[in-house]
Amino acid sequence: MNSKVTIITPPDRSAGLRFTRLWEFRELIYIFAIRDIKVRYKQTALGVAWAVIQPVTVMLIFTLLFGRLAKIPSDGVPYPVFVFSGLLMWNFFSAGISSCSNSLVGSSAMISKVYFPRMVIPLSSVAVSGVDFIVSAFVLLVLMASYGIAPTWQLCLLPLLILGIVISVLGLGLWLSAITVTFRDFRFVVPFMVQIWMYVTPVIYPISFIPESFRWLIYFNPVVGWVSGARSAFLGTPIDWLAIGASFVISILMFIMGVRYFNNAERRFADVV
């Protein structure tokens, strides 16, 4: 007989972050992630090639529109490489937020019939975007090589930046996934929000493009540090430490609030979803 004792009580609001229970179910996070990755390109003729085709197409269109026609400056880097390095982080962020926020509603059958910490669902849903990120990163390296740009020591910063963006995706994603369970409005809000968000993030333009008097505003955007940081890490341009620092603080705050909100909402999911 297992000596494990479980005590079930009505929900209370004093719940902490509850990571120990999540740790017990870490294998489930892995298995859900593998499931999503395996299923993603099933029954498609081109398979994983889509992970290359999509960002490359977007890069071509942006180069034509913003690089050639609008002549947006790119800090002295060829525009295609410039915009692709920005899209790398941005695509991870936007895809991560979108799949996270829909993840709970999409698993409603499981939520009402099986017990496991619900956080497993949004956490594992981010993994698919991670695969696309890795594929894109290699495409970027190929693109850089074709323009004769060599990576510098700054590329070593990448793991830190990835950690940062994962924290901000999860912080916002957990909150959105929990609130979408109760208010389905957010299924319409999120795609819309993500679309606008890209234009207030230096993806298609450099931070230096913003008039100096307004530049402080952009540091409140928690994605700026990761997008501009990754660009510098790959292309060897000067690093904006202020942006990274500000994004880090805001992302951590978002993460703590997201987890708290999720934990408080978690137990009523089965009754609402």
Partner 1 sequence: MINLEGVWKQYRLGNTVDLGRTFREALMQSMLGRRDAENVNEKSFFWALQDINLQVESGRSLGLIGHNGAGKSTLLKVLSQITPPTRGQITIQGSMSSLLEVGTGFHPELSGRENIFLYGAIMGMSRNDIRRRFDQIVDYAGVEMFLDTPVKRYSSGMYVRLAFSIAAHVEPDILVVDEVLAVGDKEFRDKCLGKMEDVAGSGRTVIFVSHNMHSVTSLCQNVVWLDQGTVKQVGETAEVVSAYENSVVNSTAAERAARSFSGNLLSVICLESLRIQGKDDSFTVVVNNDRSITVVARWRSLEPLNRLAMSMALYSKGVRLITINDCDVPQSVECGYFESHFEVPSGLFNDAELSLAIGGKESQQNRWCWATDVAKINIVSQGEADSISERDVLSSNGNGTRRTL
- Tell me which residues touch partner 1 (CB under 8 A): 1-11, 27-28, 31-32, 35, 38-39, 42-43, 109-116, 182-186, 267-268, 270-272
- Between CA 59 and CA 91 the distance in angstroms is 11
Nearer to partner 1, 97 or 144 (CB): 97
We find the least distance from the C-beta atom of residue 35 to partner 1, in angstroms, to be 6
In whole angstroms, the minimum distance from the beta carbon of 115 to partner 1 comes to 4
Nearest approach, Cβ of residue 119 and partner 1 (Å): 14
| Nearest approach, Cβ of residue 192 and partner 1 (Å) | 13
**3-class DSSP state for residue 215?**
helix
Token digits of residue 195: 């679309």
Nearer to partner 1, 35 or 215 (CB): 35
Beta-carbon contacts of 242 under 8 Å, excluding residues fewer than 6 positions away, are 219
Q: Which is nearer to partner 1, 159 or 185 (CB)?
A: 185
Report the distance separating Cα 259 and Cα 264, nearest Å. Answer: 9
Q: Considering the complex, state which of residue 215 and residue 267 has its C-beta at the smaller distance from partner 1.
A: 267
Of the candidates 221, 119, 226, 128, the residue with the CA atom closest to the CA atom of residue 170: 119
* Least CB distance to partner 1 at residue 214 (A): 31
Cβ distance to partner 1 smaller for residue 3 or 213: 3
User: Rounded to the nearest whole angstrom, what is the least distance from the CB of residue 9 to partner 1 in the complex?
Assistant: 5
The residue among 7 and 69 lying less far from partner 1, judged by its C-beta, is 7
Annotate 202-235 with b (16+ C-beta within 10 A) or e (fewer).
bbbbbbeeeeeeeeeebbebbbbbbbbbbbbbbb
